[in-house]
Amino acid sequence: MHPAPSIILFTTLSGLGFGLLAFLGLGMPGATGWVAFAFFAIGFALAGGGLVASTFHLGHPERALKAFTQWRTSWLSREAWTSLATLSVMGLYAIGRVFFDASWQPLGWLGAALSVATVYCTAMIYTSIKAVPRWNTGLTPLHFLTLSAGGGALLAGEVSLAAPLLALAAAVQVLVWMQGDGALARSGTTMASATGLSSGAARAFEPPHTGTNYLLREMVHVVGRKHSRRLRVLALILGYGLPILLLLLPFTHWLGLLAMLTHILGILAARWLFFAEAEHVVGLYYGKR
Amino acid sequence: MTELPTATDRKLGLVIDLDTCVGCHACVISCKGWNTENYGAPLSDTDPYGADPSGTFLNRVHSYEVQPEDGAAQLVHFPKSCLHCDNAPCVTVCPTGASYKRVEDGIVLVNESDCIGCGLCAWACPYGAREMDAVEKVMKKCTLCVDRIYNENLPEEDREPVCVRTCPAGARHFGDLGDPDSEVSQLVAARGGMDLMPEQGTAPVNKYLPPRPRDQLDQVDVLAPYLEPVAQEPRGFLGWLDRALDQMPGGKE
């Protein structure tokens, strides 16, 4: 799949932001006043900013409100609702924390649950696409959720929680790669099933067009795969290894900031691979798988 | 509404004969023509005369070479457009309700004024039947020429999808695949019509008729083994050249 920068940025940042909001909702840290303001500002900037980034890839952003209508079947529509609900509930909760030195805890719990639901909906958008076998697995939501938990804990400064959660997320990430590499072969969709030509081995002889087209640009991205192994190692080191190491050192805010930055860099690399390596079965028609 | 109907009154669709298609692309061009001039946003071309031409098409013809275990390779032309699936994954993922499947005839359509151009339906379709128009930024797909098949302003013989109307080889057939007595259903039954990617669970309405097996030409003539081979040892100048070249270093192994 085409790794669109706006979607990579959106899924990475909003995943992190909703992870942070979930921890804030649970009262971790239970800060008030200006400190709380800073935490909530970062959470809203990441989660809300991600949502804004996601509208950049829409052909008609002016109609974006219509995306709230089809929550019965569409995970994208459900994501729109849960993210809006999360930001509203957590906004009220933040007002209590920042201005009234109050902890309206039931609101916080609700906001935390909604944050988790939002990340789950984001993951399900990809999981539900059967035409991309690499995504079409229960590991995808597990990956998104553990990653948000690890990154959220890191951002919330929950040092003792962040290290084990990041380690767990790293383990799930490795599992995702391992099972993803054989997903297309296991899906049973082949050139023979795509074309129904079974009297012999089929080979793409001539494409339908001399130039490129939307399908090839959007769904048959093959450029980045040659760096896959190196990028995976980089993502593991930057996204998980280094932050865990920095968390184990005596805590200072500078080390925390450094841990957060390498984490984001590593996750951006992993998320780029998440799209670039995902094989859409339409590529079979072009002999490109 | 993006909930799929549990059943449709009719299942209008195409039956495409891979045995007959000659790969002329006339269906591609007539489709582009009709759908640019009629229903919905026109199908754009970008840089059509430049170095990197690209365009939106609702119907495209691939060509495959099939190599049987024994026997000659076969070239199969393979037109591909929306299959108007009963279990259309492109419809349920749509967040705005722009994509829908009609209860009355099973046609899958896009209401372009509701489309936000997120592209998720194109991702969900395993066949690559949907293309986002590069200029209009809305999703385009085969409408089964919904503006022709019910159009009383057209002569009756023109009330079928333009790709079917234009096909010079008679490789495309249009009809109700939900009615077992219809001509298309009987054609599918007689020729062993098949689904594309059945394992994807999309339950496509359009069917493809597989190419018939070719004649086996094992022997041209029963006397062939007894005939003298035509090629003989070269004589004269060519014979001398052959021997001279053999004499050169590395000439004769």
CA distance B195 to chain A (A): 7
Report H helices in B170-212: 183-191
Q: What's the mean pLDDT in A270-286?
A: 93
Inter-chain touch B94–A58, beta carbons under 8 Å = no
Name the residue in chain A with its Cα closest to that of B93. Answer: A74
How far is the C-alpha of B14 from the C-alpha of B185, rounded, in Å? 10
Indicate the burial class of B229 (C-beta count within 10 angstroms; 0-12, 13-18, 19 or more): exposed
Pairing of strands B59-67, B54-55: unpaired
pLDDT tens digit sequence for B138-160: 999 999 999 999 999 999 999 99
Q: What percent of chain B has pLDDT over 70?
A: 95
Confidence (pLDDT) at B218: 65
- How far is residue B107's CA from residue B150's CA, in Å, rounded to a whole number? 13
Instruction: Measure the CA dihedral B122/B123/B128/B130, to 10°.
Output: 0
Collect all residues with Cβ–Cβ distance below 8 Å to A226 and sequence separation of at least 6. Answer: none
pLDDT value at residue B226? 76
pLDDT band at residue A10 using 50, 70 and 90 as cut-offs: confident
Q: Is the Cβ pair B116, A60 closer than 8 Å?
A: yes
pLDDT category, B178, cuts 50, 70, 90?
Answer: very high
Percent of chain A with pLDDT over 70: 98
Q: What is the pLDDT of residues B1-51, one digit of tens each?
A: 678 988 888 999 999 999 999 999 999 999 999 999 988 899 999 998 999
Minimal CA separation from B144 to chain A, in Å: 20
Buried b (16+ CB within 10 A) or exposed e, B148-158: bbeeeeeeeee
Q: Which of B55, B76, B123 sits opposite A129 (nearest CB)?
A: B123
Size of interface A-B (CB pairs under 8 A): 201
Chain B residues with beta carbon closer than 8 angstroms to that of A205: 63-65, 75
The pLDDT value given to residue B231: 65
Which among B152, B149, B182 is positioned nearest to B163, based on CA atoms?
B149
Does A36 have pLDDT greater than 70? yes
Asked if the Cβ–Cβ distance from A196 to B210 is below 8 Å, we say yes
Structure tokens at A83: 């993210």
CB interface of A with B, residues 203-232, below 8 Å:
203-215, 218-219
What pLDDT band is residue A51 in, cutting at 50, 70 and 90?
Answer: confident
Mean per-residue pLDDT, B68-86: 92
Chain B neighbors of A203, CB-CB under 8 A:
64-67
Mean pLDDT, range A249-267, rounded to an integer: 90
Mean pLDDT of A244-256: 87
Q: Which helix (H) or strand (E) holds B66?
A: strand B59-67
Within 38-57 of A, beta carbons closer than 8 Å to B belong to 57
Residue A170 amino acid letter: A
Residue A70: φ, ψ to 5°: -105, 45
Residue ranges making up the domain that contains A226: 5-195+204-286
List the 117-146 stretch of A: residues with Cβ below 8 A of B: 125, 128-132
User: What pLDDT score does B1 carry?
Assistant: 66
pLDDT of residue A16: 94
Q: Tell me if B43 sits within 8 A of B55, measured CB to CB.
A: yes
Residues 6+ apart with CB under 8 A from A258: A246
CA distance A270 to chain B (A): 20
> Angle, nearest 10°, between helix axes A139-156 and A33-55?
140
Model pTM score: 0.89
Count Cβ atoms within 10 A of the Cβ of residue B90 and give its class: 0-12 exposed, 13-18 middle, 19 or more buried: buried
Q: Is the separation of the CB atoms in A180 and A134 below 8 Å?
A: yes
How much is the pLDDT for B249? 82
- What ipTM does this complex have? 0.91
Mean pLDDT of B107-133: 95
Judged by CB atoms closer than 8 Å, whether chains meet at A130 and B200 is answered as: yes
Query: Rounded mean pLDDT of chain A?
Result: 91
Say if the Cβ atoms of A74 and B95 lie within 8 Å: yes
Per residue in A217-229, pLDDT (tens digit) is 888 876 666 778 8
Instruction: Count CB atoms within 10 A of the CB of residue B93.
Output: 25
Q: Which helix (H) or strand (E) holds A206?
A: strand A201-206
CATH code of A117's domain:
1.20.1630.10
Q: A78-91: per-residue pLDDT in tens?
A: 999 999 999 999 99
The better pLDDT of the pair B188, A231 is held by B188
pLDDT digits (tens, 9 = 90+) for B200-214: 999 999 999 999 887
Tokens of B188: 């599918």
> A197 and B63 in contact by Cβ < 8 A?
no
The closest CB to that of B94, out of A64, A70, A130, belongs to A70
pLDDT class of B222 with cuts at 50, 70, 90? confident
Question: A70 and B131 in contact by Cβ < 8 A?
Answer: no
Contact between A177 and A143 (Cβ < 8 Å): no
Q: Test A75 with B75 for CB contact under 8 angstroms.
A: no
Q: Does A61 touch chain B (CB under 8 A)?
A: yes
Residue B24's closest chain A neighbor by CA?
A208
Chain A hits for B211, Cβ within 8 Å = 197, 199
Partner-chain contact A203 B65, CB within 8 Å = yes
* CA quadruple A193, A198, A201, A206: dihedral sign: negative
User: What is the pLDDT averaged over residues A121-126?
Assistant: 96
pLDDT at residue B177 above 80? yes
Please report, as a single letter, which amino acid is at residue A218.
E
Q: Quick one: average pLDDT of A148-165?
A: 93
Å from A264 to nearest chain B CA?
25
How far apart (Å, rounded) are the C-alpha atoms in residues B207 and B83?
8
Phi/psi of residue B235, nearest 5 degrees = -125, 175
Residue A23 or residue B247, greater confidence: A23
Is A22 a residue whose pLDDT tops 80? yes
Predicted confidence at residue B119, as pLDDT, reads 93
Domains in chain A: how many in total? 1
Test mutation, B52, B63, B116, chain A, max A CBs within 10 A: B116
* pLDDT at residue B217 is higher than 90: no
Angle at B183 between CA B181 and CA B186, to 5 degrees: 65
Handedness of CA A237, A243, A248, A250 (dihedral sign): positive
A252 touches chain B (CB under 8 A): no
User: Is-contact B202 B88, C-beta < 8 A?
Assistant: yes
CATH of domain B12-209: 3.30.70.20
